[in-house]
Amino acid sequence: MSKLILLITGYSLLYLSIITYYKINNFRVPFKNGLLGWKNDVKLKEKIIISFIINIPLFIVLFVL
């Protein structure tokens, strides 16, 4: 149960940090309507990078803990 709480906390911190990064640097946020999907002008390279970054907490829970 503690791994699940750790995973949820990690995901929420990552989502908030990604959105904060884009807002601080005055870029457009790549998500539409919160986090439900990608905007139409997001390139594939950016989608792949953000998707990999979002999956880091899962890798940590599965392989490290």
pLDDT digits (tens, 9 = 90+) for 4-49: 898 889 888 998 898 899 899 988 888 887 667 888 888 999 999 9
CB 56 within 8 A of CB 17: no
Please give the single-letter amino acid code of residue 58: L
pTM for this entry: 0.78
- The whole-number pLDDT of residue 35 equals 67
* CA-based torsion, 34, 18, 38, 50: positive or negative: negative
